[in-house]
Amino acid sequence: MTNNPFAVLTETLPPVFLQCFVITMLALIVIGTVIQMIHHKNITYFFNNAKKAKLSATRELGAGETTAIIAKTIVHDIATTSELGAGKRRVAHVLGMYGTILFWVASVVLIFCYTSSDSVTPNFWSMMWHVGAIMTCVGGYWFWLFLRVDVLAEAHPWYRIIKADLFVLTLLACATFGLAWSYTQSLNLENRWDDKVFLTLYILSNIALFGGVYWSKFAHMIYKPGAAIQKNLAEADGSRDNLPPYADAPKQFGLGIKREQPKHY
């Protein structure tokens, strides 16, 4: 847990090599997301829709109220992924989300601050890197093996892989191979091949995760917060995304809804 695998790696590779790799991955996120926005036209749709909804707003929001709604959305809806409701799906997502954030922040800190030959890595950052990877694995494998809609609601076997799994699987591959690489490296096995194999797999899974942004669900971490803010603003200004207002009547759905948990999407 206290091993900084990047510092050990810089005994054979110059730190600048690792830093360039991180910058390339960041560039891949930007390129993949921008091309996706242009090609899928989702941002154009999003803004046109918001403009159209504004026309049916029943009241104007002031700057203070807008800021308060955005702050509340960040703290409540985004930081806790409230749209997933209460239950396993939300717990798994929160574990994976914060795990990944920890894993990425710690990777950047370890690579940019603690890979020079005269630096000593604080245990805190090495531990954050490992804890982040473990949390990503717990949340991600739980989701992928048991909670994924195809498996839970549509009864497909867990090993059926489709294009939509690209994001979650490459994310899990990065965390799993990163941990395996750090572990085998910390065993100090002279001239053994296993840590190099896991390092290669770790590099390849990072290239697949960040290089696959255009094809994967990676950008949902940018779109989802934007959509949550827009939804809450539309709720407050009365435009409600052009949806009808809530009915002023008791909820009556018959017996059907009591017979079975809703899990068919």
**By the rule CB under 6 A, 224 interacts with ligand HEM:** yes
Residue 82 is encoded by which pair of tokens? 């409230």
User: In the window 95-114, what residues touch ligand HEM (CB under 6 A)?
Assistant: 96-97, 100-101
For position 126 contacting ligand HEM by CB under 6 A, the verdict is no
CB crowding 143-166: b at 16 or more within 10 Å, else e: bbeebbebbbeeeeeeeeeeeebb
**Is residue 20 left, alpha or beta, with left meaning phi > 0 and alpha meaning psi from -120 to 50?**
alpha
Residue 8: CB minimum distance to ligand HEM, A: 26
DSSP state of 147: I
Residue 165 Cβ vs ligand HEM, minimum distance, rounded to whole Å = 6
Under the binding rule (CB under 6 A), the answer on residue 213 touching ligand HEM is no
Tokens of 136: 């990503």
C-beta nearest to ligand HEM: residue: 224
**Per-residue contact string for residues 144-163; x = within reach of ligand HEM by CB under 6 A:** -----x--------------
Q: How far is the CB of 52 from ligand HEM (least distance, A)?
A: 23
Q: Applying CB under 6 A, does 93 fall inside the site for ligand HEM?
A: yes
Task: Report if residue 220 touches ligand HEM, rule: CB under 6 A.
Answer: yes
Q: How does DSSP assign 59-125, residue by residue?
A: SPPPHHHHHHHHHHIIIIIITTTGGG-SSHHHHHHHHHHHHHHHHHHHHHHHHHHS-STT----HHH
Kindly state the smallest distance separating residue 139's Cβ from ligand HEM, in Å.
8
Long-range contacts of 186-195 (CB under 8 A, 24+ apart): 186/3, 186/5
Which residues in the 26-85 window bind ligand HEM by CB under 6 A? 78, 81, 83-84
Residue of 143, 198, 202, 210 that binds ligand HEM (CB under 6 A): 143
Residue appearing with tokens 């700057």: 63
Task: Give the range of 57-65, 88-96, 111-119, 152-160 binding ligand HEM by CB under 6 A.
Answer: 88-96
User: For ligand HEM, how many residues bind (rule: CB under 6 A)?
Assistant: 24
Name the one residue in this structure whose structure tokens are 């922040």. Answer: 105
**Position among 217, 226, 231, 241 found at the interface with ligand HEM (CB under 6 A):** 217
Nearest alpha carbon to residue 103 among 172, 166, 169: 172
Structure tokens at 186: 């910390």
- Which CB, 60 or 83, lies closer to ligand HEM? 83
In the numeric block, the tokens 């807008």 are attached to: 66
The residue (of 78 and 110) whose beta carbon lies closer to ligand HEM is: 78
The footprint of ligand HEM (CB under 6 A) covers 78, 81, 83-84, 89, 93, 96-97, 100-101, 140, 143, 149, 164-165, 167-168, 171, 217, 220-221, 224-225, 228
